[in-house]
Each structure stands twice: as C-alpha cells, then as structure tokens.
Chains A and B, each alone.
Chain A
Amino acid sequence: MSSGTLYDKVWDLHRVGNLPGGTTQLFVGLHLIHEVTSPQAFSALEDKGMGVRCPDRTVATVDHIVPTTNQIRPFSDPLAEEMLSTLERNCAFHGINLFGIGSGHQGIVHVIAPELGLTQPGMTIACGDSHTSTHGAFGAIAFGIGTSQVRDVLASQSLAMNKLKVRRIWVDGQLSQGVYAKDLILHVIRTLGVKGGVGYAYEFAGPGIDALSMEERMTICNMAIEGGARCGYINPDSTTFEYLKARKYSPQVEEWDRAVTWWRSLSSNENAIFDDEVYFDSSAIAPTVTWGITPGQGVAINESIPYPESLEKGERLIAQEASNYMNLKPGTPISGIPVDVCFIGSCTNGRLSDLQAAAAVAKGRHVAKGIKAFVVPGSEKVAKAAVQQGLDDLFTKAGFEWRQPGCSMCLAMNPDKLEGNQISASSSNRNFKGRQGSANGRTLLMSPAMVAAAAIAGEVTDVRHMLTQKNS
C-alpha cells in the first residue's frame, strides 16, 4: 500500500468517514459541471427534494454540444439548445456560477478551470467527464464521475470512493525537438496498455516531467484515463505556482505565501512508498501516432502497423478488429497514410501552446488540396490570446478554418463530425470506433504539430522534417 505520496496526503485530508461496504466518503473540493452529464443529476435532486450543498464550490460551463461555427442562440439544433437552456435554468435556480458563451471564460471545462485558477494543488476535483484527470497536473486529485455521482456531489459535496493504488511513472531525459507531451503520453499508454492503469492513480515524476510546462503537464494527465488510470497527477512545483499567480480565482496576494507553503508540503515525500514504479526515457521517444481503435494502439512515426501475430497474445484479437475497422493493412508504414480531415483542439491539446506548436508548422505553408483542416481553441480566453498573436490569420492563410471554442470533433456531439469512412488526423484523445461522429469514421491520434504537418502533406508525416526544413 502506498504511503507518503501526494495522493495519500490529499486523500487523508478529504476523508469524511467510512461507508457501509468499507468505501470512503471523500469530500469534493471543487465540482465542475457541464450540460451533458448534469441535467439528469439535477432532476434526481429535485425528485429527492434536495438542494445543492455548496453552490460556491460548483462551477459550470458549456462545451460538448456547442457549435463551433455559429454560436448565436438559439442553436440551430433544438436538442443542443434544450441542453444549454436546462443547464442555465439549473444554475440560476441553485445559484451556481455558469461561464456561458460570450462570458469571456467559456470553453472546455478542463481548459477553463485551470486558466481561471479554480484548479489548485491539494484539491479533490470531480466532474462528470472522464478527462477530469487533466486537473491532476496541478497536484490535485481529480477524477471523472457518472451522473448518479454528480447528483451525490451536488447533494453532499462528497462521494463514495475506494482508494486507488499509486504507480509512479518516472520519466528521465527531455523530449527532443518535434516531440511533444502528447507523444510522451501516447508512448506511455502504448507501453503500459489501456487497462494497465485500472485500479491505479498515476504519479508522473522525474526530470522529464519537471521540464514540462503546465499546459504540457495537462496533456499528460488528461490522458491518464486512456491508460485506465482514473486519475493522474504531478507534484506541484515552481512551474505550477508561477502559472497560478494572479489568476481570477487563485489565492489573494495576502494568502499567497501561505498557499505556496501548504502546496509545497503536499508533494510526495522523498521516501514515499509506491505500489508500483515504471521508468521511461523522454529522449528516446519519437512522434507517436495511433493506427487502431484504442489509444494504446500506437506506433512511432518510423514504424509500421503491426501484424497481430507479432503482438502479445492478449492484444491480437483487438488488433485484428482494429485492422479490419481501420482498413489499414499490417506492415503498412504509418508515415504516408493519407488523411481526409485534420482537427486541432480538445481538452488534450486545445490550449495556446498547442495552437502555437501547430502554427509554427503551418506558417508559410498551405493545407493540401482536398483536406479539410480546422482549429478549435479550447476556450474563449485561448481564442483571444491566439488572435492577439495573429494565429487566426496565420491558420486561415494556410488554409485551416478558425473556429469558436468547444469540444468540437473530439466527440462530435455537435455539428463537427467525420463523414462515412473518412480518416482524421486528430489532436484529441480517443480513437474509438465511431468516436468522431461517423459510425465508420477513423481516427489517428497525434500531437497538434503532427496534425498540422498531416494537413499540409495530406498524409501522416514526420513533423521533424518540416521543422528542420524551416530551420535550414
């Protein structure tokens, strides 16, 4: 059993008591809600005649269903409009702060909470969305929950939880040029498997993690869930504190020093005990791309789609299924696979530095003929900052569409969808069958810079060659 880790410390601080069956009642410090997984929870609350215990620790935004081309109300999709107006009604009735469209703070829930300074070290954070693990980048214990649990948190600001084991993922070395946090996490998931993390929290640590910016750390923790780990986290350090300074909901000036002292005390102790430890070397990682139907089915850009029989026994069946669904022959090099649609955005890679990385590739180049490419900033704030830097112009000139903030084609609960068996290069997090809105649509996951490179080449290509060309 782990001890002395950040996970243990935060868990102990938020333990309310034991519940029947030996589960723990855990206090939730911050509850984030959105339009898709909250309406049924509010209805259930009303059915039980209960109110919201801590409306001031509950924060809402709208992201999944919003269109990214025209956000004028009412939305043209009546179901989307109904979901947003239901959220507005529920928030108004219960006194919950809603960052709606045009507020300046609307965006993907996992983008806006950090940028508002709501996400802080040492918190427990819950949200009806599996990518809540993102917030662990700040040294919070953050996890996705279902709608019944959203109801429970609304009613009691707490949850029935079982304590997880802790696996430390130690990363040495530094990412080389053209290799990004997305490649690192895709590589980790490829190595440990999509179910390797079930029952674990992942602590990402080591020089390779310390060197990452907060936005890169968010990309890493965001995809912990794709490796089966319900939460991933990184110990808070000066990079974390620097990011949090002077944000809207960050600690006030007079509280700041006390906050930092407390935050520092939360890091895993030097002699902390982990249930498991694994090691990676960042410098050995190449741009990584998925070829199949789980985020674990990835290869380095210089590799080919594996033959199912070359894989471990447990992986063969799903590899065969993936090969059939993707209509990609084993032995085909991943580089050179033609794409139809290129999507830059999502809670994994929709932040300013992601757009900058893609823009560095797109600058002075043009999207290949017949390719649909679009950029969706993760929030209104990201959009504003990008526009200030002229990125919208740069992308538009390069043949990309510049969109308004939302989840967009990551999960296609909005007008952004693949059609037929189109194949997308996508900076999002899931390549599941049908994920991007077409029952036979196909997704290749990769970093935003790799997506931009694919858009320009019209096929999967090694972005490092484009970066070298530019430098020479």
Chain B
Amino acid sequence: MTQTSFPKDVISCIEGKCIALPGDDIDTDRIIPARFLKCVNFKDLGKQVFADDRSELKGTHPFDLKINNNASILVVNENFGCGSSREHAPQALMRWGIRAIVGQSFAEIFYGNCLSLGIPCATSSPNEINSLQKSINKKNQQNWKLDLRSQIINSSIGAWKLYIEDGPLEMLLTGKWDATSQLKSNEYELDRVQNSLPYLNKFHIN
C-alpha cells in the first residue's frame, strides 16, 4: 500500500506503477465484500480490497503479487464496478493506493463515485486495453505516466491513447471535482427550484 496522500485540488497527471486486473463485469461486491461495509468510517478498507477474490487465489491475485506493490494505476476490462452503489469500493481501491483507473468501460455509479474522490476513470478500446495489460505484465516495474490533458498513458514501452469524458476531465483539471461547496453556492437557484416544484407546494402550479 502506498502512503501518498489522497487526491486533492487539481488532478492533471498520475505517475506510478500500473496493475493489470483482467476480467469483465467485476462488481463492487467483489471489490469490497459486504461484511466490510459494517464500519462507520472508511479507514480500514484498503487492506480488505478484493478480500474474497484474493483468498480464493491464495497469493496469486494481482493485488497480492509483490511486483504490484505500490501500484497507482489500475487497468481493467469491461463494465468495471457494476452492482452495488457502495462508495466503499473506490474508497478501498484508493486506500490500497490506486489513484487512476483505465478500462474498457465502467458502471455508471462507480464512475461517479470515483470522480467524487478525485480518481479519474479513462477508457479505451478492448484491443488497446488488452495490449496495455500485456505490456504492463511484461514489464511491470515500469514507471507509467497518465497525463489527463493529452489523455495519454505512456512509459518507455510505448504510449496508449485514452478517452476521458469532457465534463469529468474539466472538473479534475480545474480541481472542481469535489462538488459540495459548488452545489451549495447556488443557494438562490436552489430556492427557486424548490419553490417551483408542485409536490413541495401543495400541488399548486406556478
């Protein structure tokens, strides 16, 4: 597990080792089994990430391989993070050390949860992801760099073009991915909408 601090402010570049985790439809129950959700804070979740998958593979799961220690960029396949909305899943990955995820596609709620933690999710085609995963596994001590502006991940082995949605990209690059204060700053507009909703106003239509 890395000791670097959690994401904050502007996020434009993630550097570090990559970890490849092959498989489609990896759901959030697998990322963090429900029994670990019995907690009132997230702090111990890093240790428990993929707990059942790891015990099934007896030390050969990518998250248990020594060569993957301190990895910060996770490379996955299709529909990663499907199922339960538990933010405990990206929290567990983040606390293990993950700071960015690259994959073929992501489940919607998981994607939003990552964004609200400042973890970019970038996508690419199945062929590109497979070739990226192969390169990582061939030379996994490489230092990789994911640059958000150019949307490229590269190392001395080569470079892969990625795609990050415009909205999330702008939020990350401007440091405005932590939405709370922005949402609160629109107080006047919030009141306007609240006062216009029939079901909050005895069904009188303005």
User: Which residue numbers of A lie inside 8 Å of B, CB to CB?
Assistant: 13-17, 19-23, 25, 27, 29, 36-37, 39-40, 43, 48, 50, 53-54, 57, 64-65, 77, 79-80, 82-83, 86, 120, 122-123, 128-130, 132, 143-149, 151-152, 155-160, 162, 194-195, 198-199, 226, 228, 230, 251-252, 255, 258-259, 262, 294, 314, 317-318, 321, 411-413, 430, 432-435, 437, 439-440
Closest to A130 in B: B85
Asked if B198 and A262 sit within 8 Å, CB to CB, the answer is: yes
- Enumerate 28 A-B pairs (CB-CB under 8 Å) in ascending A order: A16-B192, A20-B171, A20-B174, A20-B176, A21-B166, A25-B189, A39-B41, A40-B42, A57-B200, A83-B40, A146-B109, A147-B88, A149-B116, A152-B116, A156-B186, A157-B194, A158-B183, A160-B182, A194-B82, A195-B78, A198-B107, A230-B109, A259-B198, A318-B23, A318-B24, A433-B53, A434-B29, A437-B35
B34 at the A interface (CB under 8 A): yes
Closest to A251 in B: B203
Closest to B205 in A: A262
**Residues 181-206 (chain B) with a chain A CB within 8 angstroms:** 181-184, 186, 189-190, 192-194, 196-200, 202-205
Inter-chain pairs besides A19-B182, A151-B180, A194-B79, 13 sampled, C-beta below 8 Å: A20-B174, A22-B166, A27-B193, A57-B200, A82-B40, A145-B109, A148-B116, A156-B180, A156-B184, A194-B25, A195-B78, A252-B202, A430-B83
**Residues 8-44 (chain B) with a chain A CB within 8 angstroms:** 23-25, 27, 29-30, 33-35, 37-42
Chain A residues closer than 8 Å to B112, beta-carbon distance: 145-146, 149
Asked if A435 and B183 sit within 8 Å, CB to CB, the answer is: no
- In the A-B complex, list the 8 residue pairs whose CB atoms are closest, starting with the nearest: A146-B87, A146-B113, A21-B167, A148-B116, A144-B85, A156-B183, A21-B170, A258-B203
Chain A residues closer than 8 Å to B88, beta-carbon distance: 147
B145 at the A interface (CB under 8 A): no
Closest to A407 in B: B34
Asked if B84 and A411 sit within 8 Å, CB to CB, the answer is: yes
B52 at the A interface (CB under 8 A): yes
Complex-state Cα separation, A228 to B111, whole angstroms: 12
Asked if A255 and B38 sit within 8 Å, CB to CB, the answer is: no
Asked if A148 and B87 sit within 8 Å, CB to CB, the answer is: yes
Closest to A265 in B: B205
Interface centre among B56, B198, B205 (most CB of A within 10 A): B198
Asked if B170 and A22 sit within 8 Å, CB to CB, the answer is: yes
Closest to A149 in B: B116
Closest to A322 in B: B25
Asked if A411 and B107 sit within 8 Å, CB to CB, the answer is: no
Asked if A16 and B29 sit within 8 Å, CB to CB, the answer is: no
Indicate whether A432 sits within 8 Å of B29 (C-beta atoms), given known contacts A43-B41, A122-B199: yes
Complex-state Cα separation, A64 to B37, whole angstroms: 10
Partner of A148, one of B108, B113, B194: B113
CB distance from B40 to the nearest CB of A (A): 4
Number of A-B contacts (CB under 8 A): 224
Complex-state Cα separation, A48 to B184, whole angstroms: 12
Asked if A36 and B37 sit within 8 Å, CB to CB, the answer is: yes
CB distance from B77 to the nearest CB of A (A): 9
Partner of B38, one of A156, A258, A413: A413
Asked if A130 and B182 sit within 8 Å, CB to CB, the answer is: no
Asked if B40 and A40 sit within 8 Å, CB to CB, the answer is: yes
Asked if A230 and B108 sit within 8 Å, CB to CB, the answer is: yes
CB distance from B120 to the nearest CB of A (A): 12
CB distance from A185 to the nearest CB of B (A): 16
Asked if B79 and A195 sit within 8 Å, CB to CB, the answer is: yes
CB distance from B86 to the nearest CB of A (A): 7
Asked if A128 and B85 sit within 8 Å, CB to CB, the answer is: yes
B100 at the A interface (CB under 8 A): no
